[in-house]
Amino acid sequence: MRRLLRLVPPGTLVVGAGLALVGLASYVHLAVAGHSLDAGDYSSLSVLWSVVFTVGIGVFLPVEQEVARLVAARRTRGLPPGPVLARSAAVAAVVLGLLLLVTVGTADILADRLFDGDRAMVAVLAGALAALAVAHTTRGVLSGLRLFGWYGSQLGIDGGLRIGLVAALAIAGVDSPVAYALVLVVAPLLAVALTATPVARSAGGGVAVPWPSLLRGLALLTVSSLLSQVVVNVGVINVRLLAPSDVATAGALLSALVLVRIPLFVFGSMQAALLPGLSTAAATGDDTAFGALLRRALAVVTALGAGGGLLAVLLGPWLVRALFDAPDVLGHGDFAWLALATLAYLWAMVLGQSLLARDRHHAQAVAWTAGVAALAVATLAPLPVALRVELGYTVGSLVVAAVMAALLRRRRTAAPTPPVAATVPAAAPGGTR
């Protein structure tokens, strides 16, 4: 146990406890919904779930990561986090406003193509995006300040509320997909409200963060994050688009992905502490610590992905039927493809954090662009629809990891520049893209 604790960054376990509860809540949420809704309604919930976590996380996780990176770098120089929070919150608000405008403007199309004409699901989608915007912005501050107890508490409260709310819906005999979808709005907003104290204390004070450096990093990171969410989540959406009448496969695939991606939930607990650790090592020029932390992270996720994948291949077909009441349309081979894809995706996530910590946002975006292009080509193969989306996920993830590894090996030609206020002396150590 002590050896395992030395392998992971500080703060991993406390964040992991909260993330474990969020992960459990995801399973409970989908399992209860799977037993309470008919196939059509569960398919609509599955698609909404995929859209929320493709677009919402794709757009707002970069805010969290960039806030964490900037706050961690400023923390090494004794600079306050308030300016980072103020400008990042403004960016998140603008992005959310644009998303809501697009959602409202395309409400009829979204309802008809994705939710069987249910426009209430479109309203819930808008609310869930707003909740993610608030949650990820505040988590970035908590992560950058290394307040992992508060970070884990926000996750834990979110997960606990989700479990309680879906349990109440089930006991009340509710069979509306809208009700189960609303849990994705209410739980995270309440969790943010209950953990807002340290974030509020960090507001204000200090020299403003230059807009160009902040926007450049966020723009490239948003591209990478959106593309990464496309790789991991687009399969369910593709099933609905490629075979609109095949509601069984869409629901079963989401249930299978939730099982196979258990290692991603575990990595999430490490990720919140990994990025500040790598960023601190990069900002101080400690290449030895940077390399050691990267190798340990890769070792941990390889063990997680391989072990979790083996269990998924052996037990997956039975578990999705027992836990989620999913149709019997996926076999052991389907889970093998999904497990391999998840392992490669874990490698890509760790390598991407390393590029980000060195301020190489452009390199990370290039890798994810290559991966999505590979996914698109693989998805066009003349194969059964389930195999097409599984192959796309696998090929896309492998290409991303390979490109990132190649880019990370390139020798850097200049010393990094720390992502702090413009008043910091130019001779200070840091990182370049």
Q: What is the pLDDT of residue 207?
A: 60
Domain assignment present for residue 371? The answer is yes
pLDDT (tens, 9 = 90+) of the chain, 433 residues, equals 454 444 445 555 677 778 778 878 888 898 899 888 888 888 888 888 888 887 888 888 888 877 887 777 677 666 777 777 777 788 888 889 999 999 999 999 988 888 888 899 999 999 999 999 999 988 888 887 778 888 889 999 999 999 999 999 999 999 889 999 999 999 999 999 999 888 877 766 666 666 776 677 677 778 887 888 788 777 777 777 777 777 777 778 778 887 888 787 667 666 656 766 787 788 777 778 888 888 888 988 899 889 988 998 999 888 888 877 777 788 898 899 999 999 999 999 899 888 888 878 888 889 999 999 999 999 888 888 888 888 999 999 999 999 999 998 874 444 444 443 322 222 222 333 3
Q: What is the pLDDT of residue 368?
A: 93
Q: What is the pLDDT of residue 370?
A: 95
Q: What is the pLDDT of residue 228?
A: 83
Q: Which of 40, 39, 28, 44 is nearest to 170 (CA)?
A: 28
Domain assignment present for residue 414? The answer is no
Domain assignment present for residue 419? The answer is no
Domain assignment present for residue 218? The answer is yes
Q: Which residues contact 218 (CB under 8 A, 6 or more apart)?
A: 62, 63, 66, 88, 91
Domain assignment present for residue 415? The answer is no
Domain assignment present for residue 429? The answer is no
Question: In the chain, what's the furthest Cα-to-Cα distance?
Answer: 65
Residue whose structure tokens are 């195999």 = 387
Domain assignment present for residue 425? The answer is no
**Number of domains the chain contains:** 1
Domain assignment present for residue 421? The answer is no
- Which residue range forms the structural domain that includes residue 386? 2-409
Q: Do the beta carbons of residue 175 and residue 41 sit within 8 Å?
A: yes
